[in-house]
Amino acid sequence: MQISKVIIPVAGWGTRSLPATKNIPKEMLPIYNKPVVQYVVEEAMYSGLTDVVFINNRDKKIIEDHFDYNLALEIVLERAGKTGLLEEVRKVAEMVNIISVRQKKQLGLGHAVLCAKEVVKNDPFAVMVGDDLMFGPDPGIKQLLDVAKDEKLSVIGVMEVPPDKVNRYGIIDGDEFAPGMYRVRDLVEKPKVGEAPSRLAIVGRYVLAPEIIGHLETQEPGHGGEIQLTDALKELARSNSLLAVRMRGQRFDAGDWVDYLTANIYFALQDDQLHDDLKMRLKDFLQLH
Ligand code: G1P
């Protein structure tokens, strides 16, 4: 079956990026010339997903506005003959359909996904965590969609992390049945260093069967007192219906300052107009510091 919907939870506070995010959603911070959330939506679009469900709160309407037309701006650009920019801003409004769902209380990632219950109905759907940016030869979530279609099971994306970072992620325990493909036996949300079953961390990309909604409805608060998606996934693992795929590509955690700043440079260096000057400035700068 064709999967068309992707849930992107965006109602979090973004405390890791304060004070930058005091009045701006963390998803709207720019990475080079686009807000973080645009990279995530582009990944969804290039993977064939057409309907983006933002799980939103009252203060974050500008996220959905970014994916709508801005007619006043378009008139200004048209009159000024700035056709390149005009096309660029229009294109963003035409990427995907936007569906907005309110998360009235921030009770965790699992709760955010549960808020989309009426929208996803009985169809499988994707989830993308807005802080995790993935870049590579093929779009991140497409790698999972391809496996989910072939295997007709739920699939989550994982990457190996250093042993001292396992406590920042959901970690899987699984059997590798083909290169980079795992049958998940169990999962644990943010285990203590030294207590993780592996170093394979969930990296914010999921393709899920609709049964997950029922499991979320019965979840008690878990790690950090929040309704965890990882805990609901345990139920799928228990019935042998959860796979994990080791994702290919480069990942940036936009909520981590080193990753955020590196991502800015990574994208700016891909712009031919900036490449040479930026490289020279960075070289000079690094010699001085
Ligand atoms: C969430 C998930 C966690 C996953 C992580 C990836 O955690 O709960 O399992 O590894 O996203 O970014 P959060 O970063 O929202 O605390």
pLDDT digits (tens, 9 = 90+) for 128-147: 998 899 998 899 999 999 99
Q: How many domains are contained in the chain?
A: 1
pLDDT, one tens digit per residue, over 6-64 is 999 998 888 899 999 999 999 999 999 999 999 999 999 999 999 999 999 988 889 99
CATH number of 136's domain:
3.90.550.10
- Determine the structural domain holding residue 115 and report its residue range: 5-255
Average pLDDT over residues 151-164: 96
Distance CA 132, CA 178 (A): 25
Is residue 281 one of the residues assigned to a domain? no
Is residue 268 one of the residues assigned to a domain? no
Average pLDDT, the chain: 95
Average pLDDT over residues 202-213: 97
pLDDT at residue 125 tops 80: yes
Is residue 287 one of the residues assigned to a domain? no
Q: Which atom of ligand 1 is nearest to the CA of 132?
A: 12
- Please provide the DSSP assignment of 117-175 as one string: HHHHTTS-EEEE-TTEEEESSS-HHHHHHHHHHHH-SEEEEEEE--GGGGGGSEEEEEE
List all residues whose CB is within 6 A of at least one atom of ligand 1.
Answer: 109, 129, 131-132, 169-170, 189, 201-204, 228-230
pLDDT band, very low/low/confident/very high, at 244 (cuts 50, 70, 90): very high
Q: Which residues contact 277 (CB under 8 A, 6 or more apart)?
A: none
pLDDT at residue 148 tops 90: yes
Task: Please report the pLDDT score of residue 60 as a whole number.
Answer: 86
Task: Please report the pLDDT score of residue 1 as a whole number.
Answer: 66
Cβ 183 vs Cβ 158: under 8 Å: no
Task: Please report the pLDDT score of residue 284 as a whole number.
Answer: 93
Is residue 277 one of the residues assigned to a domain? no
Query: Distance from the CA of 9 to the center of ligand 1, in angstroms?
Result: 11
